[in-house]
A and B are shown apart, each in its own frame.
Chain A
Amino acid sequence: MIINAVINGESIEKECNPNKRLIDFLRDDMELLSVKEGCGEGECGSCTVLLDKEAVTSCTVLTGQINGHEVTTVEGLDAMGELEPIMESFISAGAVQCGYCTPGMIISAKALLYKNPNPTDEEIKRALEGNLCRCTGYNKIIEAVRNIKR
């Protein structure tokens, strides 16, 4: 099937297997390796990407479903100049340890800020509830997101 979609700001028209998981399409076909696999069932959130500005777990989306839609990963946010303030905040708050959950956390944070530029801590936690982290205990990640809004 030929997919027409906007991936990280660029329009693409590509032959692909529509039944392939979106995570595999992004990692293998588009070489966007920031998208990580941790569980393959939508629980850990490390594969989170933006689908039309909403956070979704790419391991539970079929590639065919993105036809006509926009998908963004941290590579895209970086290319479009939208990553800097989030990244700086994560780094200075100490929110990055092993880094495996970090791209997913950043995407979920970005999705939240699109809707709600001044979230409360409760709203931040809700936006990140589908992103598991085993290193940080979440405290510094919440702090990082809290610090971005200013």
Chain B
Amino acid sequence: MKSNAFYAPETVQELIEVLKLKKEGRDFYFVAGATDFAIHIKKHGIMDYTAIDLTHLDELKRIEAREGFVEIGAAATMARLEESDILRSHGNALAEAAGRVGSTQIRNRATIGGNIVNASQSADTVTASCALGATVVLLNSEGELRELPLEEFIIGIGHTQINSDEVLVKVRIPYGRKPEYSSFSKIGSRKSVAISKINCAAKIIFKDNCVAEATMYFGSIGPKAIKAAVMEKHCIGRAWDEKLLAELLELGSLQVDQAIPTRPSRYYKRIAVKGVISDVFNDIAQREVI
């Protein structure tokens, strides 16, 4: 039976009550930015549904620095993420990624929660968040919370571990005491307002001018963001210089070959990957010097 209702919970308790209804009913959709949602209902001709609007919960919009991690409300918009000083300090790659999603209008509405749960293979905030070691926090209809690594939460294209009575409420970006440098880059069909054909995020921790820890992820070359383990290992103990960059560019092409051996887009992406690696590498090089 088709439904046609609208809920806009303003407290966590109200949200839990709505989750109970969602568990029973079909045709229930969370809407926040509604940018993906609008396209979805248009494409599938869905005219009757129940919307659960997440934009009236202040709790879900905050970006706060806690002990050892930045906590981001799932309904925080790309615009807020991009402008956040906290995020620029402790999760720059995510601030960069958010600033490259869609257009100005889209960024004013699209949320990190929506981007993650939609789980497009080219989701920019997912690549960045994975590189930052993000975890996600889910709330269910019993009021229980569970936390798990983002990389585990996402299973494949459009597919996550979320249960029918759960809602994504927080994203947590851990940070340590050592200075971290992270960056993000993407290549789409045009310079601005484009879906990524390939994207890259990296987080580097230096010690004595050499790489002590490296995390690197690529997006849009597989059903979910891929950890570039070989490239990460290759960086350890190295100086962040031109020689390392040249090697990483070659390894990047091989990473693409390995990820999408049979796709026609491989031939383009194995070259384009050098662009995103260069961008991220040079961005970190500049900020490290400063």
Contacts and interface: CB of A to CB of B under 8 A. Distances in A.
Nearest to B193: A129
Given A45-B105, A65-B53, A1 B35 contact: no
A19 B4 contact: yes
A92 B188 CA distance: 35
Contact of B105 (A21, A56, A67): A56
A65 B8 contact: yes
Given A61-B34, A65-B8, A65-B31, A42 B53 contact: no
B109 A129 contact: no
A60 B8 contact: no
A130 interface: yes
Contact of B34 (A62, A127, A128, A129): A62
Contacts of B51: 18-19, 62, 64
Interface string B10-54: 000000000000000000000101110111001000000101010
B126 to A, nearest CB: 20
A70 interface: no
A54 interface: yes
A126 interface: yes
B53 A62 contact: yes
B103 A1 contact: no
Interface residues of B, number: 26
A73 interface: no
B49 to A, nearest CB: 7
Contacts of B4: 19
A18 B193 CA distance: 29
B285 to A, nearest CB: 23
Contacts of B102: 42, 130
Interface string A107-145: 010010000000000000111111000000000000000
